[in-house]
Structure 1
């Protein structure tokens, strides 16, 4: 009897099947209600006492081997059928691919670029790690100039002449050094200032600055360019320019757009005035043109600059600027179809 059981164990170990029917026949033969295992267990009472231990071990081995074989054959067959179903059925619907979404800063930046490209502005870029000349001195901010205190700067400790740029005006300096007028360019990019992080400010943010240099450029050209931009960007055509001060432009102005007072949100955003400040601008100071190798007696120009983050906050009614850099997928997925 022991030899017969061992023979069955060997047969079970080598058994193979290619269909569910063959596996079921095999299962019934060994594990069914009238299978061989039932028969062997029924014979246990007739086995001599000195052989009961060995007999029980061999029968249990047959049972374990048969169960494992049935399970492995079923898994192999199911895996084969699933693979065939996926790759063999050409009419099977494809899996839905999750689409990514652009960052709200990128969406706003791209729209600004697109608006200015319609009137001939190209895009210029420069390094985020700058030297003192391009970031300050060439822009009419010589060493120890009090206006440098307007921008809290990250300097590189190993070299006090190297810093993280505080504005993208440094890109405009580089562009003027390497290109002759007429110049019409915008410079989007990330800038850095040593400021406390809060819901309204961050130590890094994004700017886009524009520059137009040619013969006979006037303040009226600047105003009309900004009028065009605010209409295209916000759908608001009413703007005002308030006198201000920037070291690299003269005269200088702050630009406000009339946002309106139609909703409670409008009141909060504009502090009840209806006007919203969006950028600074002015006529390029002749000293800046001369520093960049452009004859200020022949050419004139205007410049403007705005915060991309600020505009993104306004357009999307986002309450906290820190949300832009937290990489929260739930927040970012909201902008798949924005703008």
Structure 2
């Protein structure tokens, strides 16, 4: 009889229940009114007196192990049901997910790219760490040229020929070196200039520069391209081109759009004139074409460039350029609904 009780102890230790029903059957088998423990206790009367102590201790051990097994398995099954209720119920409402948004600089850049892509411009990119040739010399800015002072540059101290690009015109140079006309490309990217940070300027900003080179390209083509862009970007159909100077274009011009004087903000941002400068442009200087391996006797072209931050500030009425770089969630959340 003692051996039979020990066998039941081993069986209790091995028992596992996958369902509440199996656990209840186990409980009834050992702890129920007609269970095995009652049978063993009934047989206790017929055990010889010298064996009753060991027999009683063994029965109690079986009882304790059976009760412990029932309690531990019941707790495990209840926890499993609760976890299933929380994570396995697909009808429960989902936890709210915080949606991110594109940065306003990315939004405006993508909008500009889409506008020019619709009229045949592709996108070209280049390195942000440039050499002197691609950033200056090839663009009609030889060493010691006074126009280099127009752009305060971050040079790499260990190698004065290496610098952080001051404009994405360097990408256009690389593109012309690797491609022959017809060329129609825009170059968006980040540029760097050693300027004091203020509400209107920053040492890091973004540009989009465009380039079109082919036979018989004229200034009229440039004007029509820019007019199309301003209509699509701003909904403005009136522009003017003012004579200006850029070393890599001749003739050169600044482009203004007529923003209007409909409210106080219009008066403030246009200084009461209604006109607003948005970019620079011009016909590509023949020396630049020659430096890049393109015959200026056969081909002509135009180029233009604009600051993405300036466009974004106009579109969204942002008064401080530093907001683009401070990663203030309160500022960025305003653009969640912008496509």
**Superimposed CA distance per residue, residues 157-193 of structure 1 (whole angstroms, 9 cap, x where no aligned partner):** 0000000000000000000000010000000000000
Indicate the residue corresponding to 1:113 in structure 2.
113
Is the counterpart of residue 235 in structure 1 residue 235 in structure 2? yes
How many angstroms does 1:337 deviate by? 1.9
Distance (Å, rounded) in 1 between the aligned partners of 2:211 and 2:184:
6
**Superimposed CA distance per residue, residues 41-76 of structure 1 (whole angstroms, 9 cap, x where no aligned partner):** xxxxxxxxxxxxxxxxxxxxxxxxxxxxx9x99997
Indicate the residue corresponding to 1:90 in structure 2.
90
Provide the alpha-carbon RMSD of the alignment: 2.1
Distance (Å, rounded) in 1 between the aligned partners of 2:265 and 2:248:
35
Indicate the residue corresponding to 1:217 in structure 2.
217
Distance (Å, rounded) in 2 between the aligned partners of 1:76 and 1:272:
76
Distance (Å, rounded) in 1 between the aligned partners of 2:225 and 2:90:
56
Indicate the residue corresponding to 2:324 in structure 1.
324
Q: Secondary structure at the match of 1:92?
A: coil
Q: Secondary structure at the match of 2:261?
A: coil
Is the counterpart of residue 282 in structure 1 residue 301 in structure 2? no
Q: Secondary structure at the match of 2:205?
A: strand
Indicate the residue corresponding to 2:184 in structure 1.
184
Distance (Å, rounded) in 1 between the aligned partners of 2:78 and 2:312:
52
TM-score by length of 2: 0.77
Distance (Å, rounded) in 2 between the aligned partners of 1:90 and 1:324:
40
How many angstroms does 1:99 deviate by? 1.5
Shift of the 73–193 alpha-carbon distance from structure 1 to 2, 3 Å rule, reads farther
Indicate the residue corresponding to 1:293 in structure 2.
293
Distance (Å, rounded) in 1 between the aligned partners of 2:155 and 2:89:
62
Quick check: 194-203 or 80-89, which moved more? 80-89
How many angstroms does 1:93 deviate by? 2.5
How many angstroms does 1:285 deviate by? 0.1
Distance (Å, rounded) in 2 between the aligned partners of 1:220 and 1:103:
35
How many angstroms does 1:80 deviate by? 3.5
Distance (Å, rounded) in 1 between the aligned partners of 2:137 and 2:87:
66
Q: Which runs of 5+ in 1 are unaligned?
A: 1-17, 20-69
Q: Which has the larger radius of gyration?
A: 2
Distance (Å, rounded) in 2 between the aligned partners of 1:124 and 1:164:
18
How many angstroms does 1:95 deviate by? 2.6
**Superimposed CA distance per residue, residues 1-27 of structure 1 (whole angstroms, 9 cap, x where no aligned partner):** xxxxxxxxxxxxxxxxx99xxxxxxxx
Quick check: 132-141 or 310-319, which moved more? 310-319
Aligned residues: 274
How many angstroms does 1:77 deviate by? 7.4
Indicate the residue corresponding to 2:13 in structure 1.
none
Q: Secondary structure at the match of 1:294?
A: coil
Distance (Å, rounded) in 1 between the aligned partners of 2:191 and 2:75:
58
TM-score by length of 1: 0.77
